[in-house]
Amino acid sequence: MPMLNSFRALLVSLTFALAAAGAPVFAQDGGELTEEARQRYAKELKAASGLVKDKQYAQAMASLDALLAQRPREPQARFLKGVVEADEGKREAAMATFRALIEDYPELPEPYNNLAVLHAQKGEYESARLALETAVRTAPDWAVAHENLGDIYARLAAAEYDRARKLDRDNKSAPAKLAAVRELLTPGDAAKPKP
């Protein structure tokens, strides 16, 4: 089974999807930023995104912290922070970041998807399924979330076929189905879902 999409693909997706959608950028005081301030913020965010892509995490996090100090509710910088945390192996911190982002912006599918990736990496396929089903409901035309959900369904199916095989040793169809699903699943895919 193909692994779930990488955080990098989603990183670009969310950063530019939010910018393209004209997501308002707010100042610390809650007022909307001027066009000049908005452009400066976008430039700084793009630079931070480049640092993340180049795996310069310390510099990226410093840039993101500076952006978040000015505008703590901005979804793009918060999302990138979660990506950095995940890439640095700070899974619990990344999960908390994505959960907080979901709480503030439940209409964004990307944080659900990345949260699902982190759940899948921990073998928590039911939690991953729930997050991905929400991502699909918020963005029904987003192929990445659909593919990831299919991967999770395959993992769940494999577990059930294996359970059926163990419960009924005379069952001939469960082992055949398990073999077919396992053929789709390549080693390591469960730990690397697609964000």
Q: How many CB atoms lie within 10 A of CB 64?
A: 27
Residue 57's pLDDT is: 96
Compute the distance between CA of residue 194 and CA of residue 33 in angstroms, rounded to an integer: 34
The pLDDT score that the predictor gives to residue 38 is 86
pTM, two decimals, is 0.79
Distances (CA, A) of 140 to 38, 118, 184: 30, 21, 24
pLDDT at position 32? 63
Q: What is the pLDDT of residue 187?
A: 58
User: For residue 189, how many C-alpha atoms fall within 13 Å in the half-sphere facing its CB?
Assistant: 20
Q: Which residues contact 185 (CB under 8 A, 6 or more apart)?
A: 1, 154, 155, 158
Write the DSSP string, 86-127: HHTT-HHHHHHHHHHHHHH-TT-HHHHHHHHHHHHHTT-HHH
Helix, strand, or coil (residue 182): helix
Residue 122 burial (CB < 10 Å; 0-12/13-18/19+)?
Answer: middle
Q: pLDDT tens across 109-150, in order?
A: 999 999 999 999 999 999 999 999 999 999 999 999 999 999
Mean pLDDT, 10 residues at a time, the chain of 195 residues: 40 42 48 80 94 95 94 93 96 97 96 96 95 96 94 94 94 92 72 50
Domains of the chain and CATH, by start: 7-191 (1.25.40.1040)
Of 50, 53, 28, 25, the C-alpha closest to 40 is 25
Given this model, what pLDDT does residue 12 score? 39
